[in-house]
Amino acid sequence: MVAKEFIIPPIFCLILLCVAVEARPQEILIVQSMRIKPYAEAVEGFKGALNARFREARYTVRGSAEAASYLRERRPDLILAVGMEALQKVKRFSHVPIVYLMVLNPSAVLGDAGNITGVGMTIAPEKQLTLLQKVLPGARHVGIIYDPRKSAPFLRRAQNAARGLRIELLAREVGHPREVPEALKSLKGVADALWMIPDTSVVTPETTELMMLFSLDNSIPVCAFSAKYLDMGALMSLDVSASDMGRQAGGLAARILSGAEVSDVSAVEAENPSLFVNGAVARKLRLSLGEEVRGKTRIAN
């Protein structure tokens, strides 16, 4: 008896191939600058936003040699760089899509890399000024101290937003923290508020203390970029949750893992900022907080 040859129909082969491809879990290498709670929360938010299964390998910067070895041996579908140091370590791997997270000033290290996108920690200046105006509706002259080498693009956007809100930005350039005292002195008697931005040439432990003393001595409220400055004397802050930023990054990663080119997945800024107001500082500065602000903010006492 002659055995009959069994031929698999081409369409069945195609179905089997698709099933095999779909069954492969997405492989993501997670490189963290350090192991701290906000980074862990950001990573959990990232993972929660991805509905696909994936294998993950976690490395700190101290394990960057391991990460390099891993990348030589196999090619993950995507790298998640959590923190500035992690981004600096992996940006040279141009053959793998990279999404960054928890990076304060990504443009300082990215250059023209075409395989990198992510979520910056800076809140859009338009949102910041709108919320500042809600807390301080009478603030028409807002002081801002910045280093043009680090914050010029942000300042340009802030100036455009300020014009639309009928706010005049009193911008003071510095190139080093030692120039901050003189910049503050020039704002005395002319600024209604001081807008503190995350510029490392401006914000140091020493200059922060100086800004808070300046605020108290001159009754000029400080609008900061993190709630930690409320305890130091800032009137208000705008914060974003690490897990929310992680979810944003997960959304970007999902598009890339679904086949989108990284160059078509634009980097984004942190969304959904929470407004915090220090009630004790408001009382010291004899500021009256409106009903709308009280209804929408968490008041620290």
> Based on the domain organization, do 230 and 248 belong to the same domain?
no
> Based on the domain organization, do 29 and 158 belong to the same domain?
no
Looking at the domain assignment, is residue 20 inside a domain? no
Range of the domain at 200: 125-239+274-300
Average pLDDT over residues 2-23: 46
User: Which of the four pLDDT bands, split at 50, 70 and 90, describes residue 7?
Assistant: low
Global pTM? Answer: 0.76
For residue 167 the two structure tokens come to 């706010």
According to the model, what pLDDT value does residue 169 have?
A: 97
Looking at the domain assignment, is residue 18 inside a domain? no
Tell me how far apart the alpha carbons of residues 247 and 233 are, in angstroms, rounded to a whole number: 31
Q: Half-sphere exposure (CA, 13 Å, Cβ side) for 97?
A: 25
- How many domains does one find in the chain? 2
Q: Edge-to-edge strands of the sheet including 78-82?
A: 54-60, 26-32, 78-82, 98-103, 116-123, 268-270
For residue 102 the two structure tokens come to 């928890």
According to the model, what pLDDT value does residue 46 have?
A: 93
pLDDT in tens, 274-283: 889 988 899 8
> Based on the domain organization, do 147 and 281 belong to the same domain?
yes
Q: Edge-to-edge strands of the sheet including 141-146?
A: 168-173, 141-146, 193-195, 222-224, 236-239, 274-278, 298-300
Report the C-alpha dihedral over residues 8, 11, 16, 22, rounded to 10 degrees: 170
> Based on the domain organization, do 117 and 133 belong to the same domain?
no
Tell me how far apart the alpha carbons of residues 151 and 148 are, in angstroms, rounded to a whole number: 5
Q: Please name the residue that has the structure tokens 């203390």.
A: 209
Looking at the domain assignment, is residue 19 inside a domain? no
**Residue 21 pLDDT > 70, yes or no?**
no
Tell me how far apart the alpha carbons of residues 234 and 218 are, in angstroms, rounded to a whole number: 13
Q: What CATH number did the domain enclosing 83 receive?
A: 3.40.50.2300
> Based on the domain organization, do 279 and 144 belong to the same domain?
yes
For residue 144 the two structure tokens come to 């801002």
